[in-house]
Amino acid sequence: MARNHSRRRRKRSRFKGAASLLLIAAIICAITVVWYGNPLHEKPDWQGSVRPIFMKGKLTGYEAQSSGKNMLMPLKLIQGQIDPTIRYEDDSQTVIMTTRQSLLHMNVSKTQGELNGKTYTSSAAPQIISGEVYVPIEAVREVYGISIHEDPVTGAVILMKAGEKVRLGSVEKKDGQQDARIALRKEASSLSFILADVSQQTKVRIWSQQGDWYFVQLDNGYAGYIKSDCISEGEELVIPSVKDDLSISEKHWQGKPVNLAWEAVYNRRPDPSKFDPMPGVNVVSPTWFSVVDHEGTVESKADPAYVSWAHRKGIEVWGLLSNSFNPEITTEALSTFERRKSIVDQMISLAQENDLDGINIDFENVHTKDGPNVTQFLRELKPMAREHDLILSIDVTPKSQSEMWSAFLDRKSLGAITDYLMVMAYDEHWAASPKAGSVASLPWTETSIKRILQEDEVPPQKVILGIPLYTRVWSETPKEGKIKVTSKSIGMESAAEIVAQFKLKPKFKASEGQNYVEYTEDGVVKKIWLEDQISLKARVELAQSLNLGGIGVWSRSFADKNAWITLKEIIK
């Protein structure tokens, strides 16, 4: 009995001794890890990938195909990280890349495409691999100026965007142990796993800093944390930005106010010899061109004599292209790259044939679903316009809930793409309005412009204030106990004649910033909100106070002789 008890005591003693030894060993290990760092290694998540793509040291989740000049990048990566507007059209298998200075398009499996209307050849062709579109890296570099580093051993691809910067450095043990390797850790902690043991003098990219750790990346793609006192900082690597050289015309208009008059051209050609003098006008925009069918055919009413007259006067001509205000034509004509390209090519040719200085786009009555194609059309037109030294502008309405006249317009994007955004700040009360009112009261006009400046972030120098030179004679006719409202558009001279004929005394309406007259004719109440020197002066002053790029008036034929003198103040 005593011997059994003694054995149990010896066993407990041995167990306690072993436990103590294990505890001591654990403590020693813990102290060692804390003091010297975790010695355990772990493979990076991307090992096993053939050509993983990194940006800013982080794995993108995408892989490149092929290598060197034949490398292909996933379209989704480019859309997500480089340019969300790069487009692929499945029906024609066309990849379209655009900037303000470049339009490059290529077809799947073809190495030859077009860059700004000229033949472009790449070492590789766009491909569809496992259902995903891949684009030649050469083409992406051509348009967007990206930089690529490809490691020949690991296959890792380091992608940097144009204008991106990164500090370079080298691994350096500063205690004199030149042969010592430095741990590249998964997290910014000595307790973290080691991804690689880095030799001294190894070059690294320093992406960021977290406390006394640098997040760095080696040329072979390995990225992790190294103590900052083990890194010697070097020069900054800067990827050059893509040059955005202004054309001669763009330079000409920098800081110069636009004083534009639209020329409404219908069946008969206007005769400039009969025009009143238009002092101060520096641009005319005749409505000469229209997209007239589903294929994108452009019909022209261009008049070389009109262009010659304008140029003799020192006035530029920005030919207007409309969509015939036909939503079905617009849907079909803009639905494919081939049709949009046809319209672009026709307009460039017509501009050259007629010695135009610019193109003004006026697309109205458009389905909301077609808005993205309107924007894409402008994206594809702008680089071609710049290539041929043409100013590009687009007419937009004030923001409203109207699907066909407002909702389709992506004013923010259009403002970035074009040289000028012409805001047609009129038709506050349109022709068929159920209520009589001003064509464009001053408060409404100011609010319309400010919304675009603020909500759509369009630079003020790109915004042109559209000014009406017409007004409406509103008729309020009693009918079956109700008031029937109709209207008729008239120009400034016709309005002045009515005032004189009925010996009316205009009253200034401060709430609308305009003179107003009212009279009765044959039992019908007539109302007119006048466009005169007072309203025009206020509109010019509004454009100046908001530092806008200028004004545009609709239209020349509605003006009286004095209008031009008032409007001329915009260029002072």
Q: Which residues are annotated as catalytic?
A: 364
Closest CA to 519 of 533, 503, 530, 531: 503
Q: Is 247 left (phi over 0), alpha (psi -120 to 50) or beta?
A: beta
Rounded distance between C-alpha atoms, residue 419 and residue 319, angstroms: 15
Rounded distance between C-alpha atoms, residue 216 and residue 58, angstroms: 10
Closest CA to 307 of 275, 351, 368, 257: 351
Contact 390, 358 (CB under 8 A): yes
Q: What is the DSSP string of 435-450?
A: S---SS-HHHHHHHHH
Q: How many CB atoms lie within 10 A of CB 403?
A: 15
Secondary structure (3-state) at 341: helix
Q: Is 455 left (phi over 0), alpha (psi -120 to 50) or beta?
A: alpha
Burial code (b: 16+ CB inside 10 Å, e: under 16) for 46-83 equals beebebbbbbbbebbebbbbeeeeebbbbbbbbbebbb
As given in the structure block, the two tokens for residue 374 are: 């309107």
3-state per-residue secondary structure call for 150-161: ECCCCCCEEEEC
